[in-house]
Amino acid sequence: MLVRFEGALSPNCVGVDIGSTAAKAVVLGGDGSILYKAVVPTGWSSAGAAEALRENMEREGIDVSKARVVATGYGRVSVPYAAKTVTEISCHAQGALRLFGRDGTVVDIGGQDTKVISLSKGKVADFLMNDKCAAGTGRFLEVMANTLAVELPELFALAERGGGAAISSMCTVFAESEVIGLIGGGRAKEDIAFAVCESIVARVTALCGKQGGGREFFLTGGLCESEYLRGRLSESLRAPVFTDPLARWAGALGAAVLAGVFLS
């Protein structure tokens, strides 16, 4: 997938976010506007994904060798053309600040981990990540969608029409067997999809609670495109949850902003 942006390309700051599922790149112009962004599947090789992004940028006429590049994401060390690496916590925080322009609590449901980041006075005041477990992450949803033989968007569409069922286990492996149990018991796919989504909403809500709650939340990362999930999270958190068409790129965007800060 490749999204073109209008305007002249004067490459300046590049942020590369190699996540566990998707690798993203954002290029900022000298005036801070977004000149270009791209996303490719990470696949089995972080280095391969980083190279694919570089090729995409070069193809668009961006001279990566002359740009200031910050890499982030769990594959951040596999980006040979980056001058600096910054963790995804700082980058998502920076990206959210740029997108939403104010303090709040950033919720990033990533492929491998879920992060809750409190912003205070434009800085990371505290953060929390799920520990050594896939519960409450994008990976959890992927496994469950797989079990139900649907793609993620379909899972959310199904969930919207379902209800009643529940998964009690927070463990992905055990939850999967619960799902299989529900399938075996003849529950409607819609109800099971609902249970799967409720499970992740409950987990993320607990994580936010542990972090001390918040007045408003900013949803970033791969799952922010689901309006259903955003709505359910908002109800569960009893607070507004905002997102942005660019929220998926928040990590890469933050990295690009930080490239301007650190590498100028």
Partner 1 sequence: MHDVEALFEDMRGAIPAGPVKIKEAADSGKKVVGCYCAYTPFEVIRAAGAVPVSLCSTSDKPIAAGEEHLPRNLCPLIKSSYGFALTDTCPYFHFCDLVIGETTCDGKKKMYELLDRLRPTHVMQLPQTYFGADALNVWRAEIERLARRLEAELGVTITEDGLRREIKKRNEERRVMQDFYELSKPDPPLLSGRELHLVNEFFKVSFGDARAMDTIRELETKLRENWEAGERRVPAGRRRIVVTGCPTGKSLEKVFDAIEENGGVIVAFENCGGLKPNYEPADETLPPYEALAVKYLGIPCSCMSPNTKRLDLLETLAGEYKADGVVDIILQACHTYSVESFLVRERLTGGKRSVPYIPVETDYSQSDTEQLSTRMGAFMEMIA
Which residues are near partner 1 by CB under 8 A?
74, 86-90, 112-113, 123-127, 129, 131-132
Instruction: Answer whether 36's CB lies under 8 Å from 50's CB.
Output: no
Closest contact distance (angstroms) between CB of 100 and partner 1 is 19
Nearer to partner 1, 74 or 242 (CB): 74
Closest contact distance (angstroms) between CB of 131 and partner 1 is 4
**HEC sequence for 156-168:** HHHHHHCCCCCCC
CA-to-CA dists, residue 113 to 56, 131, 139, angstroms: 27, 8, 8
Closest contact distance (angstroms) between CB of 50 and partner 1 is 16
Closest contact distance (angstroms) between CB of 218 and partner 1 is 17
Give the list of residues 6+ apart from residue 148 with CB closer than 8 angstroms, or none.
155, 158, 179, 183, 189, 192, 193, 196
Token pair in block for residue 50:
């980083």
Instruction: Answer whether 192's CB lies under 8 Å from 107's CB.
Output: no
Nearer to partner 1, 124 or 157 (CB): 124
Nearer to partner 1, 12 or 137 (CB): 137
Nearer to partner 1, 31 or 131 (CB): 131
Closest contact distance (angstroms) between CB of 124 and partner 1 is 5
Nearer to partner 1, 148 or 175 (CB): 175
CA nearest 28: which of 82, 75, 67, 2? 67
